[in-house]
Amino acid sequence: MPDAEEPTTEEDGGYHLLSVIVPVYNERVTVAEVIRRIRAVELPVAVEVVAVDDGSSDGTDKVLAALGDSTVRVITHGENRGKGASIRTGLAAIRGDLLLIQDADLEYDPADWPRLLEPVLRGKARVVYGSRFTGERKNMLPLHWIGNRFLSLVTNVLYSSTMSDMETCYKLFDRKVLEGLTIESDRFDFEPEITAKVLRRGHRIYEVPISYAGREMGEGKKITWRDGVGALRALIKYRFVRIEP
């Protein structure tokens, strides 16, 4: 992974720094491996990582404290506030002109970052999502599969899009796309909110296939059917409320 202070080449399309926000909550077992994989990725742009420990109670804070260095900055919430709140905290701290979200649970592999970056660096897109339904994957639980497909369908109907995976963690943005955009959601409804607001601003979302190794509830997966209901509510809400221009 290039150091965050390295210059970039002319082939980067004008982008100089990829900021990666890693929201972390009780991922003591996996977060060190995620950071190792992040550091192993070779990219044509420099990288900074902002890990937000969202009030973990399992010793994750101690693991992160040992991992921090010049390219991995750790910010800590005193109490658990949710994924959306963690991303808001990260957004206030990053410096890059590109933004990527990376979960800390090993379901998503940073080795897929070059695939996500390629359309942006080639000038084909300003927003890229990694689709779990078009690439290699360990199948997710049936209820999650149905819920994800249903929420993507609702997104397409409400926002005239053609997405296969709205709920994916891997969302890459040209930072300018998000200028003036306020994130209100504290929890997993961040995913539909950011998608809805980007689509309503007229940006088309480019999808690329990614690998996916889904966890089961006994392995620490935190999202439940209640979060699916919240996502549906958010999709409907942000289709009709006024948003920032």
- Residue pair 214/136 in contact (Cβ under 8 Å)? The answer is no
By the 10 Å C-beta count (0-12 exposed, 13-18 middle, 19+ buried), 118 is classed as middle
- Residue pair 165/132 in contact (Cβ under 8 Å)? The answer is yes
pTM reported for the whole predicted model: 0.87
State the average pLDDT over residues 131-148.
76
**Per-residue model confidence (pLDDT) at position 195:** 97
Between the CA atoms of 220, 171, 15 and 110, what dihedral angle is there, to the nearest 10 degrees?
40
Domains present along the chain, CATH in parentheses? 15-240 (3.90.550.10)
H-assigned helices in 160-216: 190-200
> Over the stretch 50-66, which tens digit does the pLDDT of each residue have?
999 999 999 999 999 99
pLDDT higher than 60, residue 100: yes
> Over the stretch 26-50, which tens digit does the pLDDT of each residue have?
999 999 999 999 999 999 999 999 9
- Residue pair 43/15 in contact (Cβ under 8 Å)? The answer is no
pLDDT higher than 80, residue 12: no
Number of H helices, E strands in the chain: 7, 9
pLDDT higher than 50, residue 127: yes
Q: How confident is the model at residue 69 (pLDDT cuts 50, 70, 90)?
A: confident
> Over the stretch 187-245, which tens digit does the pLDDT of each residue have?
879 999 999 999 999 999 999 999 998 756 554 455 665 777 889 999 999 998 877 66
